[in-house]
Amino acid sequence: MTTDTPTDLPVVPHWIDGAESPSTSGRTAPVFDPAIGVATKRVALADQAEIEKAIASANAAFPAWRDMSLAKRQNILFAFRELLNERKGELAEIITSEHGKVVSDALGEIARGQEVVEFATGLAHHLKGEYSEQVSTGIDVYSTKQPLGVVGIISPFNFPAMVPAWFFPIAIAAGNTVVLKPSEKDPSAAIWMAKLWKEAGLPDGVFTVLNGDKEAVDGLLTHPDVRAISFVGSTPIAKYVYETGTAHGKRVQALGGAKNHMLVLPDADLDLVADSAINAGFGSAGERCMAISVVVAVEPVADDLIAKIGERMATLTVGDGRRSCDMGPLVTEVHRDKVASYIGIAEEDGATVVVDGRGIEVDGDPNGFWLGPTLLDNVPTTSRAYTEEIFGPVLSVVRVQSYEEGVALINGGAFGNGTAIFTNDGGAARRFQNEVQVGMIGINVPIPVPVATFSFGGWKDSLFGDTKAHGAEGVKFFTQQKAITSRWLDPSHGGINLGFPQN
């Protein structure tokens, strides 16, 4: 037990060998309903024996899954897609009850995950190899893409369905078996999806859920039967996962934290900018890795823009995500307090608190983990409120005098996940997309999450590894290539030759 929450709460189990696998470690952690501030479940925290059991099951399932025809594998993907589409409402409610985001937003994340499932239904096309005839006399060369084996996915709390779905549809369609370690803060979505896979006809052991904390993560990172790790979470843990996983010979992609800037040029449509800043700053209570957390206003627009953002903030409703609200609570009390502390830090460092979300009135239980939308102006770029990821509904404004100053600010940061420019000048936008040191860029689009056919991932401290999520890079990550050089003997067989093969 890790806290003094009631011990008679239901325990979210693991999913091993195509069935719920109750916790045997004796270790659990509380899972809260953030809108009422109460632990409603506990989640199993795996020990070494459970880690071994989960990985052994996935390993045993691999040969038959790898050898199943592509057409049969694809049929299971299609069935999963249909079931997910029909029953996504159930999943959205589960997400809201553990994460807190409003139900419409939970449906949005499921839709983006479903996109990757749809991409994976056509994976046969992406698994095609290449063929060159007659590269040398009588010799052909061709390549194939094969699955790796058992792959681990370790996901964060903020997208309990979408982030795992960035990876598992492609990993599974390519013939791998998956062990998913969800966030211990909202683990039930993973179990729900495991049941859906079973219903879709996926053989037991191909999709496993191992609930846990650092012990489960370390188990995946060091186990010899795990071939690759896809991780998403905060930067310090992403770096640790990358270093530990690669030191144990694994292929690792570790997506980290973010601090996303929106650069507003003086010619931008300020109403569009204000709407976008609200949507991207406060959607999902700012708990999105692609949330905008800093508006960089090129003067003289800052005063007008702040007024427009402030007007819109006054209309936002905060409350229980199951009701008709714009924004829900934060995920835990600890996280809410951490986010709120940055408002004080900014204030002490000289920022102006234009709108203060502390102590906001909500449409929900007073014990929920609430923090209202907050707007800070003139945030010093030396303040920790500027340099660190806040991951909550706190939007900072930094005023600059020129486009160049704005780009230098963005490029000077540690993170490089997403950014956006707002302007009506195509030349400026084109220059920005070329100069900015960030992996995903929006032009008059505040949350530029690429669609599933492209790849998702940032630069610098926002991604450790060489490969991004989904799209062509996702296929590359979950497959290994073979090159085959072949000759079928004919009467021109050339006899003994000890020289190095050449044309």
Binding residues vs ligand NAD (CB under 6 A)? 154-159, 163, 181, 183-184, 213-214, 217, 232-234, 237, 255-258, 289, 389, 391, 417, 458, 462
Smallest distance from ligand NAD to CB 137, Å: 50
Which CB atom, from 217 or from 301, has the smaller least distance to ligand NAD?
Answer: 217
325 as an active site residue: the answer is: no
* Residue 243 CB neighbours (<10 A): 14
Smallest distance from ligand NAD to CB 388, Å: 10
Helical (H) or strand (E) element with 429: helix 426-435
Q: Shortest CA distance to 101 belongs to which of 277, 321, 309, 264? A: 321
Q: What are phi and psi of 330, to 5 degrees?
A: -85, 165
Smallest distance from ligand NAD to CB 330, Å: 11
Helix ranges restricted to H, 254-322: 270-282, 302-313
Smallest distance from ligand NAD to CB 264, Å: 23
- Please state whether beta strands 28-33 and 38-44 pair in parallel, antiparallel, or not at all (unpaired): antiparallel
Closest-by-Cβ residue to ligand NAD is 233
Which CB atom, from 210 or from 296, has the smaller least distance to ligand NAD?
Answer: 210
CA pair distance 390, 387, nearest whole angstrom? 9
Which CB atom, from 234 or from 411, has the smaller least distance to ligand NAD?
Answer: 234
Smallest distance from ligand NAD to CB 283, Å: 14
Which CB atom, from 60 or from 111, has the smaller least distance to ligand NAD?
Answer: 111
Smallest distance from ligand NAD to CB 227, Å: 19
Q: Shortest CA distance to 44 belongs to which of 59, 58, 57, 31? A: 31
Which CB atom, from 237 or from 313, has the smaller least distance to ligand NAD?
Answer: 237
CA pair distance 178, 163, nearest whole angstrom? 14
Smallest distance from ligand NAD to CB 235, Å: 6
Angle between helices 103-121 and 162-173 (to 10 degrees): 10
User: Which of these is catalytic: 117, 209, 238, 289?
Assistant: 289
CA distances from 128 to 38, 66, 108, 116, 335 (A): 51, 15, 32, 19, 45
CA pair distance 80, 197, nearest whole angstrom? 6
Helix (H, G, I), strand (E, B) or coil at 419: strand
Smallest distance from ligand NAD to CB 3, Å: 16
Which CB atom, from 58 or from 291, has the smaller least distance to ligand NAD?
Answer: 291
Burial-class residue 7 by CB neighbours within 10 Å (0-12, 13-18, 19+).
exposed
- Do residues 452 and 116 touch, judged by C-beta distance below 8 A? yes
Smallest distance from ligand NAD to CB 327, Å: 17
- Do residues 468 and 455 touch, judged by C-beta distance below 8 A? yes
Q: Shortest CA distance to 318 belongs to which of 391, 392, 260, 397? A: 392
Residue 63: partners with Cβ closer than 8 Å, 6 or more residues away: none
Residue 178: partners with Cβ closer than 8 Å, 6 or more residues away: 58, 150, 151, 152, 153, 167, 168, 171, 172, 206, 207, 208
Which CB atom, from 308 or from 468, has the smaller least distance to ligand NAD?
Answer: 468
Which CB atom, from 232 or from 339, has the smaller least distance to ligand NAD?
Answer: 232
Helix (H, G, I), strand (E, B) or coil at 362: coil
Question: What is the 3-class SS of 218-234, one letter each residue?
Answer: HHHHHCCCEEEEEEECC
Tell me whether the omega of the peptide bond preceding residue 300 falls within 30 degrees of 0, making it cis.
yes
Which CB atom, from 258 or from 436, has the smaller least distance to ligand NAD?
Answer: 258
Which residues are known to be catalytic? 289
